[in-house]
Amino acid sequence: MKLSAKVEYGVRAMAILALYYKEGPLPLREIAEQEKISLKFLEQIVPALRRSELIKSVRGAQGGYILSRPPEEIKVGDIVRSVEGPITPVDCLAEDRDDSCCHHKDGCLTRQVWEKLRDKINDVLDDVTLNELISLKPTQTL
Amino acid sequence: MKLSAKVEYGVRAMAILALYYKEGPLPLREIAEQEKISLKFLEQIVPALRRSELIKSVRGAQGGYILSRPPEEIKVGDIVRSVEGPITPVDCLAEDRDDSCCHHKDGCLTRQVWEKLRDKINDVLDDVTLNELISLKPTQTL
DNA sequence: TAGATATCCGAGTTATTTGGTCGGGATTAA
DNA sequence: TTAATCCCGACCAAATAACTCGGATATCTA
């Protein structure tokens, strides 16, 4: 029950972009430095975010990335699903196989839990926007 | 954001054991057949459940496994955590590293979401007992 | 006591996924 | 024109997942 490093980095990157939202495009190099992420690895993560239209790219010198919409309109769930695809706790919930979950024709005993789990995960992640992420600021290292 | 096959099989196996709870120990062979799971793979999954005292084993001929407690007292969350360990959506929530989540000394922007996510996942899974699993019966293949 | 039936244990194997790296091409501001 | 930047695809190593296999140990039944 883990998120991939890609998702974690993706969300961190988006949080940084939220902080710089009003200041025009921010190059990946900056994000990579601030978050201590390999630039090359970051480059591999952001295309998904762009294709989902969560960010826009500005090519060439002085270019970079900028959020497509204000931070309060972007949910963490959007980011997670963009980078990792739809939330599917177990394979049999994938879209392509509407019918046969397991081999049981008489109804699978466990499917309901997994559906509920999937829905709740989406709920939690959709309940937090980038704006909340950067303003609820620090749980403080305490 | 996937559960392992072990967890999925583990929950399925526990559901079967719940169905047979009143009939004494059920051998793995039976479960393996009903759920079309490799016996040898099942053998590798159940020890965790036994060590967590969710099931008891009866060795020798006519032996098998039986739930340690009635189905209504066993939560799906118990099973998942038993087989897969504690729910940690991202590594920095693991127990051993209370302090440094990421490299930020000034408080990590994202940690809160992951904590919330972890808690909600546990909530959902702890909200369903084996009894509910086998009595809410079929979402019907529909 | 002799099977037969089970659990139990640990090592080995294969396939997939993850978490990257690397090289270079296309675009554009200065 | 040069330097900064995004963009794309191939490659790679390590870890993990999903099994398999062989056999030891316990115990019921006959």
Q: Could you tell me the pLDDT band of residue B108, with boundaries at 50, 70 and 90?
A: confident
**A117-132 tens-digit pLDDT:** 999 999 999 999 999 9
As a whole number, the mean pLDDT across chain B is: 91
DSSP string covering A45-75, please? HHHHHHHTTSEEEE-STT-EEEESS-GGG-B
Q: Could you tell me the pLDDT band of residue B103, with boundaries at 50, 70 and 90?
A: confident
Does at least one atom of strand D sit less than 7 Å from the CB of A105? no
Can you name the residues that pair with B57 across neighbouring β-strands? B65
Q: Could you tell me the pLDDT band of residue B84, with boundaries at 50, 70 and 90?
A: very high
Report the C-alpha gap between B94 and B87 in whole angstroms. Answer: 9
**B16-69 tens-digit pLDDT:** 999 999 999 999 999 999 999 999 999 999 999 999 999 999 999 999 999 999
pLDDT of residue A140: 44
Closest protein residue to D6 using CA and C1' atoms?
Answer: A59
B72 C-beta neighbours (distance < 10 Å), count: 12
Report the C-alpha gap between A108 and B12 in whole angstroms. Answer: 9
Q: Do B110 and A11 touch (CB under 8 A)?
A: yes
pLDDT of residue A141: 41
CATH, residue B30: 1.10.10.10
pLDDT of residue A96: 61
Residue A91 has pLDDT above 70, yes or no: yes
Q: Does B76 map to a domain?
A: yes
| Of the candidate ranges B20-24, B39-43, B98-102, B133-137, the one whose mean pLDDT is the lowest | B98-102
As a whole number, the mean pLDDT across chain A is: 91
Q: Does A96 map to a domain?
A: no
Cβ contacts of residue B136 below 8 Å, gap of 6+? A112
Average pLDDT on A110-115 reads 95
Instruction: Report the gap between the CA of B59 and the closest CA in chain A (Å).
Output: 28
Strands A55-58 and A64-67, how do they pair? antiparallel
In terms of residue numbers, what domain contains A80?
Answer: 5-86+129-135
Q: Could you tell me the pLDDT band of residue A99, with boundaries at 50, 70 and 90?
A: low
- Among B11, B108, B113, the residue with its CB nearest the CB of A128 is B113
pLDDT more than 90, % of chain B? 81
Whole-number distance in Å between A44 CA and D7 C1':
10
Indicate the pTM of the whole model. 0.93
Domain count, chain B: 1
**A39-83 tens-digit pLDDT:** 999 999 999 999 999 999 999 999 999 999 999 999 999 999 999
A21 phi, psi to nearest 5 deg: -55, -40
Q: Does A40 map to a domain?
A: yes
Whole-number distance in Å between A129 CA and C18 C1':
27
Q: Do A2 and B120 touch (CB under 8 A)?
A: no
pLDDT of residue B100: 59
Higher-pLDDT residue of A95, B12? B12
Short-list B56, B17, B1, A120, CA closest to B9:
B17
pLDDT of residue A106: 60
Report the C-alpha gap between A70 and A54 in whole angstroms. Answer: 10
Q: Does A52 map to a domain?
A: yes
